[in-house]
Structure 1
């Protein structure tokens, strides 16, 4: 039975009733329609001749019409959406410039759904119109559809919702989709709407769209690193095809450890794990339909671009540096004074001075009370004797007879309290001294932050990206003239564009501008007509570790090596393991070229399978576990890897930093021995002089008598 026919104005009114809570835009080819809108709408007059555009003509965007338009303030009962209603089916569909009009939200500019609704042309059969829309959808890039929903309204009560993922009728590059999904899916779903409750129809459209996205979205993703360009065509990489045949094709159980061992990287393994259902028991085509896929790029620095992409933050990375220029260590003899600070030493000397004053005052007031324990004649302690007695307690030297002979009886109780305090002070000094003497020296470089290097005139050593072409250039050798060959070149360019007033970021800007000077690719400075200024950077490659040490060990020539902070932490122990005694230090500033790293997934229609899976991996800790596993089993190939270095070769006892403190202690001990020997010889000489003098006096007295 042929469906009843309704006037076009009545069909448009019914369509507007269905999408009444959306921002409705009505596109008309002519204004002869007698329409009295019952809902707020935007009316656009789009004559047919606007679609005939020659190459040398510009497109004239349609204007809004404000006649016969109702403006009513209201509160939207449902979530926000757009609805674009076309009175005719014969419109250019995603080809040409029609949808570039400011009328429509951009592909990446609308988070809410955008409904495209065509009114059935009653002069044509419904099937012909459905096939027309479907064919045009097949020629539309899947990534360019955004959150758009495509519907055909028959003007009565039936609305047809199109399945954007049913693309198997396109003979070129069909997607690998399981057969049971292909058999159960339809090009479009017919929904019967009730005039008593038009708004219930849009709820059913959303549920249908959710079901379609949940079922098919996971089959239309591809990892960007799996693609290879062969004769201008995108194809699956040979390695991916081998991995698919070995571990996924007709394999009921997947050996994930073996997959991880053969994966190129952590991102490669995660792609295999998340997209396993598109590889398991399915024959993948050789060629890749660019317009048929959503691209997954793995983890990377977050792209600062506008759009409705979704982001999962993983970590923050930055750059740091290594140098040996201007590194000075503290004097060796500071190890003896370091256990106590200046105030403690001042307090000890003040106590000794107080004892001298107290002893002299007590001796002056009661000279008859100073005598030794043998009852010898009275003797008063000299100041130097009191100082010697006071310090001998600190040095744990026992002088009981000397104490009773030098210290007055009234001061003896106070002196015993000093002896108790000296026991605690000496024990504390020994503990701190022993702990300090076994540690290497704390060195103080003349620089701290990256912007200090630019002011001092340093030359930067930068690692080339691990690309075969750069490796070939470096081995020839062919000079590399652009910072684009360095992994963090985009961060350097971004730092050079800073226009704020923060001191630290302005310092980073100076360094970035100095690195970019005369760069033919990244900097516009090189295009100015002026004398060429020598660049301040030199390239290195991880496969030639000897070049790093031979350049960086020229400590007087102000060389500095710049790399990711994680790489610096691995390279620093390797380069410090040298027999030349050269000490390299890392900069204290770990914020240079800092950027956030994570998964930035482009938004898709309704359900985003990749984003949902990545969120589960990160929040559950699975991603962190595999990240640590890859760090241990498949570390980055840096200078230590190509030098076959896994642990220090130079023993700690052979290092000057480790032995220098012990050498200093031995030097101090030797100096003390020399001083003691000199004092001992002086005392012997003095004693001999005293004996000889008495002997001469006795002989003289005998002769006189």
Structure 2
């Protein structure tokens, strides 16, 4: 009985355990089912959310990073084209560097969007937000480790980060400050200067209270103002949120574009010019004394007006252009407190030779084309004889044609039975002499008479009147103009074994010269910089090779490039037998070296060479300098800078150039405040040694006298020959007629007086 009771008790115990286990399994299964359905619903929401993000950037070339857990997302709901990348895969046989460069067909609103989900899973970015103070270095490391990011030349660019740690990334990005924009310093975030950071939250399964998070199809774009600082905090906040409502995602992109333009327009507050700066111990980007004085006087809090006339008197042309561009910006309330303390983010270089380096520069604004020329006194002289003025009125080809025409006319004037008088007729007409020639009596054929008269008339009008008068006019003009010295060379290709003196100002800008002088590197950097410029011009394109002169200059530039060799231990470390540097202010030494006229020449921009000719030719030694042909080192000059979205400076410069304001002030400064050259440092204003080479002027007159004397001598000799010939002819006729009569009288006389009766 007791055993039965014990068995029933044990059976009841195991039944309760089995019942509890069954209920526990049912509860676990229900929880697993709820978890799985919740997970599936969450993934479905995320998949739908990802497709909505792609809808927003439908105008962009969109790159989607498949790493960091992104591969769990299904992409079947995305209808727009995407570029799927996975930087973790190593591909060596396919060029994938340019994979993100293709542009959509709709150019209007084109952009580049890089969608990265869960950036906190990236090693560099995770370390950056966890460490707090190293996000700058980690962000640079992240970009360098990913190959699909494009260069900074293409904008606008959007870095879209879909993250669970939005607030942490917002703090880390905002802590970077304006350093994310400074493009011209080493070890900076210059590659992010055109990047627009957009952060998007990832939906969580449950909220902080443990309750289920309600799904909202609206997407919030948290956009960063990369120009946010103390100076611009009243213009735009550091972060702006754009709400993209369900069903209006493409229109949300328009709001994003408007916000991006507003942010990019703030670049106008952070510019400076290279012409404004000077080298200082306080830093390389310190305003010069003149610029600081103008900013303090006219652009401070107490100034009431902006006197542009005084600015013109105090500044150079490029400094004045800067104040014309920024006069409204510098006087703005944003910068009114301490205008000289505004942070410099963008730098506009001085006007210089455009290098067109696609890997460095992007924004280019050409102004004018300049070329180099040269001058020298070597081989300059009177390379002509006394009789050259007689033939200079006509070129050699003209003289050859005249001789051929005269020969043809002589052949046409030949008539049957004619003698040397026909040739004398031709010469007489050319000498404008009146010659009588009776041809009618000698020519019986009527056709020959008309042909002779027509040919002689044509010859008289064309050669006896027109040609001779034109020759006399040209010869008279040649006599009036004094003889001029000229050089045996014309182009650079004719200058064999010459040494060219090139000013530093031709190779470097004034700001660069000041910086290199401060570091004592001016002489060492001259030859490498010159070699780079020669190497650039030595690379001819297909169009330049079709023109012989340009092709010759390209070949000469290439040859001169290899003349610059590295010489360790020398003062400049580089040396060239054909180039030597000089300075405009060292005009005394320069004139002394150039005055030797021994295979030396001065090379500079064509305008500067023309300006130096009058100064150098004004000397006591009667040395004459001649300028060579232009065209060497022909290249466009203008402004070039790193890319800046909505570039304020280039917009203002385009207005200044297209309206004619730039040309007006450029000509005004060249006329009133020209750039200092040799003659300005020598304080030369007008010629001091006025001399005329009279003996060379008289040489042409002597040529005319010689020609006149020779002609008179020929005429006198001809006259004497004719007189002698006439006298001999008369004597011959007289004796030939008188001799028979005398002989007859002599015979009769002998017969009459003969003593012989037989006779």
TM-score (norm 1): 0.72
Does residue 309 of structure 1 match 2:362? yes
Tell me: CA distance 1:674–1:343, structure 2 relative to 1, closer, same or farther (3 Å): closer
Query: In the alignment, what sits opposite 2:388?
Result: 334
Alignment equivalent of 2:222, drawn from 160, 163, 174: 160
**Secondary structure in 2 aligned to 1:329?**
coil
- Name the counterpart of 2:674: 635
SS in 2 for 1:95: helix
1:594 is aligned to 2:634? yes
Task: Tell me which structure has the larger Cα radius of gyration.
Answer: 2
Q: How many residues matched?
A: 611
1:541 to 563, 574, 583: 583
TM-superposition CA deviations, 1:379-415 (whole Å, max 9, x none): xxxx4x7766654554445x5xx63689978689565
| Distance change >3 Å, CA 663–CA 442, structure 1 → 2 | closer
Where in structure 2 are the equivalents of 1:29-48 lying within 5 Å?
A: 29=68, 34-37=72-75, 38-39=77-78
Match of 1:83 in 2: 114
Query: 2:176 is paired with a residue of what secondary structure?
Result: helix
Deviation, structure 1 residue 569: 2.0
Partner of 1:217: 267
Cα distance in 1 for partners of 2:614, 2:719 equals: 54
Map of 1:179-578 to 2, 5 A cutoff?
A: 182-214=233-265, 216-233=266-283, 234-249=285-300, 251=303, 253-264=305-316, 266-280=317-331, 282-284=336-338, 286-287=340-341, 289=343, 293-303=345-355, 304-307=357-360, 309-327=362-380, 329-340=383-394, 341-347=398-404, 349-350=406-407, 358=415, 361-362=417-418, 383=420, 390-397=426-433, 399=434, 403=436, 413=453, 418-421=459-462, 422-439=464-481, 445-453=487-495, 456-465=496-505, 482=524, 484=526, 488=530, 490-495=532-537, 504-514=553-563, 516-518=564-566, 535-555=577-597, 557-578=598-619
* 1:171 corresponding residue in structure 2: none
Alpha-carbon shift at residue 242 of structure 1 (Å): 0.3
Give the deviation of 1:427 after TM superposition: 2.2
1:668 to 675, 686, 704: 704
Residues 8, 452 of structure 1: alpha-carbon distance in 2 compared, 3 angstrom cutoff: farther
Aligned residues of 1:451 and 1:511 also touching (Cα < 8 A) = no
**2:365 touches 2:639 (CA, 8 Å); kept in 1?**
yes
The CA deviation at 1:159 is 2.3
Q: Give the Å deviation of 1:628.
A: 1.8
User: SS in structure 1 opposite 2:475?
Assistant: helix
Contact 1:320 1:562 in 2 (8 A): yes
Shift of 1:674: 6.6
SS in 1 for 2:366: strand
Q: Which residue of 2 is the match for residue 654 of structure 1? A: 692
8 Å contact from structure 1 (residues 601, 610) kept in 2: no
Q: Which among 146, 157, 172 is matched to residue 193 of structure 2?
A: 146
Matched, 1:625 2:664: yes
Tell me the CA shift for residue 312 of structure 1.
1.7
Shift of 1:319: 1.6
Q: What's the CA shift for 1:300?
A: 1.6
| CA distance, structure 1, for counterparts of residue 222 and residue 287 of structure 2 | 36
Secondary structure at the aligned position of 1:278 is classed as helix
Contact 2:498 2:600 in 1 (8 A): yes
2:53 equivalent among 8, 15, 18: 18
Instruction: Give the direction of change, closer, same or farther, for the CA distance of 1:404–1:494 in structure 2 (3 Å limit).
Output: closer
The 3 A distance-change label for structure 1 pair 109 and 671 is closer
1:601 & 1:470 partners in 2: Cα distance?
A: 19
Tell me which moved more, 197-206 or 535-544.
535-544
Cα contact 2:64–2:114 (8 A) shared by 1: yes
Structure 1 residue aligned with 2:32: none
| Deviation digits for residues 206-239 of structure 1 (CA, Å, limit 9, x no counterpart) | 111112223x121121112323444353433322
Q: Residues 297 and 470 (structure 1 numbering): CA distance in 2 closer, same or farther, change over 3 Å?
A: closer
1:289 and 1:160 map into 2 onto residues whose CA distance is: 26
Instruction: State the Cα distance separating 1:428 from its structure 2 match.
Output: 1.8
Question: Is contact 1:318-1:564 (8 Å) kept?
Answer: yes
**Distance change in 2, residues 1:614/1:591 (3 Å):** same
Distance (Å, rounded) in 1 between the aligned partners of 2:581 and 2:111:
53
CA distance in 1, matches of 2:85, 2:714: 110
Q: Secondary structure at the match of 2:417?
A: helix
* CA 1:114–1:307: 2 relative to 1, 3 Å: farther
Q: 1:84 to 1:29 in 2, by over 3 A?
A: same
Distance 2:513 2:368 in 1: 28
Between the aligned partners of 1:351 and 1:498, the Cα distance in structure 2 is: 50
- Tell me the TM-score normalised to structure 2 length: 0.68
**What is the deviation of 1:468?**
11
Q: Which structure 1 residue ranges, 5 or more long, are not aligned?
A: 46-60, 66-72, 169-174, 364-382, 528-532
- Equivalents in 1 of 2:475, 2:619: separation in Å? 28
Distance 1:28 1:134, change over 3 A: farther
C-alpha displacement of 1:689: 12
**Distance of 1:203 and 1:521 partners within structure 2:** 62
> Structure 2 CA distance, aligned partners of 1:76 and 1:468?
44
| Deviation at residue 310 of structure 1 after TM alignment | 1.8
Q: What is the CA-CA distance between 1:441 and the residue it aligns to?
A: 5.4
Superimposed CA distance per residue, residues 365-385 of structure 1 (whole angstroms, 9 cap, x where no aligned partner): xxxxxxxxxxxxxxxxxx4x7
Question: Is 2:116–2:162's contact at 8 Å kept on the other side of the alignment?
Answer: yes
Q: What CA distance in whole angstroms lies between the structure 2 residues aligned with 1:573 and 1:74? A: 57
- The range that moved more, 281-290 or 193-202, is 281-290
Shift of residue 677, structure 1, vs aligned partner:
6.2
d(CA) in 1 for partners of 2:576, 2:529:
22
Question: Residues of 2 paired with 1:479 and 1:209: CA distance?
Answer: 43
What is the distance in 2 between the residues matched to 1:330 and 1:315? 39
Distance 1:431 1:509, change over 3 A: same
Q: Distance in 1 between matches of 2:224 and 2:693?
A: 74
CA distance in 2, matches of 1:609, 1:522: 46
Cα pair distance change 1:628/1:409, threshold 3 Å: farther
**5+ residue gaps in structure 2?**
1-38, 92-101, 129-134, 184-189, 203-215, 444-448, 546-550, 736-741, 747-759
Contact 1:518–1:535, Cα closer than 8 Å, also in 2: no
